[in-house]
Amino acid sequence: MSELIIKNIQKFYGDHKVIDKLDLQINSGEFVTLLGPSGCGKTTLLRMIAGLETIDGGELYIGGRKANNIPAQKRRIAMVFQSYALFPHMSVKNNIVFGLRIKGMELHDMFTRLDWVLPLLGLEGLENRLPREISGGQRQRVALARALVLDPDVLLLDEPLSNLDTALREMAMEELKRVHRQVGKTIIYVTHNQAEAMTMSERIAVMNAGHLEQYDTPGALYRHPRTMFSAEFIGSPSANFIPGTIEIKNGELVLNSEIGLLEIDETRKDYLRNFSGRSVVAGIRPQDIILSSTRTHRRASDSHVTLGVELIENHGDRSFVLGRFENGLPVRFMAANDSDYRTDARVEVLIDGRCIHLFDPETRQNILEK
């Protein structure tokens, strides 16, 4: 069993609180990513799990055992570092079996594991090379192999793909997913790259300033962000935020926003009547703003808004458009490349009321996600 439970965990550097009473439960065999911007405490949390940082408050359980005071070398964890931390004076083979040698494993068993991991990660033929004699992608695989042969309860990965170029990173992501499927280890992966997190993880813990913003599946994080931070951090480009008030106009519940009246989806109206008169911030993903000219049918929840196109970034299959509403509020949206729009043009867009997330401007919590 390799379940990992974090209860109320805290970390201070002097007076500065780095991790603030954080709770997290990771199931055995699960692939979980700690996602957040630089300095949010995700690597510190990973290092606390690894035993490389002390735990100043709360409890950590690995495989049912309280691990707060268990030294790193006895935690049955393995870690892949951002720099890979391969021993430069050791060959690939000896880097991989280092941990097994330390544990005093029999030579025969050591080579059995080596024979298992080398083909698993495509490292055959590189056994006798030094780390400086192999590529970045190969180093990353050696670091992973070194961790896997230890047969740890939990595998910790600290931004292991950040040093790879885009093509290699995509390959490495596929490989990591494949390896996870094959070995079934509990994996905790740290990254600030949401694409990596969304692609590989079963669940993502979004962290911000030392606390947990949201812990959910990638799909739920995208469709149901619980906080403005989650809505902003997940999805590329990040969501547009438009202040407004929930009001009743002509007997209909609407969102009176700074860019005009926006329709609210029928299914949400009953619930939102309780919020009538309250200020909110509407979060709208760029993918949910659509050029009117590209949509033939209309929905009741659609709102029509006019905006000016300021900048178009061609992304191949579609473009990322930066525009400005009539009140001067900036907006980002995506549009197909065959659509009829150009820089400085005025275009009409549709905003689907079903895709609007409403946040409390003070608590920054999603009022629709109870």
Partner 1 sequence: MKSGQEQFPSAARLKSILPLWPLLPAAFYLITFLFVVLSYLLYLSFSTASGAFPTLATAGNVFAMNEFRQAFVSTLLFVIVGTPLELVAGLALAMLIYKPFFLRSIVRTLFIIPLAVPGLVTATLLFIIFDSNGGFMNHILMGKYWFFPHVIRHAVDWRGAQWSALSVAMIGKIWRDVPISMLILLGGINAIDPELFDAAKTMGAGLRQRFRYVILPLIIPAISSVLLLRSIEMWKEFIFPYILAGRYHLLGTLIEFLYMEWGGKYEHEAAFVALVLVGCIVVSVAVFMFLVDIVRRMVSDVR
Q: Which residues would be at the binding site for partner 1 (CB under 8 A)?
A: 47, 50-52, 71-75, 77-79, 81-83, 85, 87-91, 94, 98-99, 102-103, 128, 130, 146, 150, 156
Cα dihedral 201, 232, 312, 290, rounded to 10, equals 90
Least separation in angstroms between residue 41's CB and partner 1 is: 17
Least separation in angstroms between residue 289's CB and partner 1 is: 44
148 versus 280: smaller Cβ distance to partner 1: 148
61 versus 81: smaller Cβ distance to partner 1: 81
Least separation in angstroms between residue 51's CB and partner 1 is: 7
Least separation in angstroms between residue 98's CB and partner 1 is: 6
71 versus 251: smaller Cβ distance to partner 1: 71
128 versus 279: smaller Cβ distance to partner 1: 128
Q: Could you count the other beta carbons within 10 Å of the beta carbon of residue 59?
A: 13
- Give the single-character DSSP code of 238: P
160 versus 260: smaller Cβ distance to partner 1: 160
Rounded to the nearest 5°, which phi and psi values hold at 81? -95, 160
Least separation in angstroms between residue 262's CB and partner 1 is: 50
54 versus 363: smaller Cβ distance to partner 1: 54
d(CA 89, CA 130): 7
Is residue 352 within 8 Å of 299, Cβ to Cβ? Answer: yes
| DSSP structure string for 33-73 | EEE--TTSSHHHHHHHHHTSS---EEEEEETTEE-TTS-GG
d(CA 238, CA 286): 7
d(CA 370, CA 367): 7
Least separation in angstroms between residue 77's CB and partner 1 is: 6
Show the 3-state SS of 131-196.
HHHCCHHHHHHHHHHHHHCCCCCEEEEECCCCCCCHHHHHHHHHHHHHHHHHHCCEEEEEECCHHH
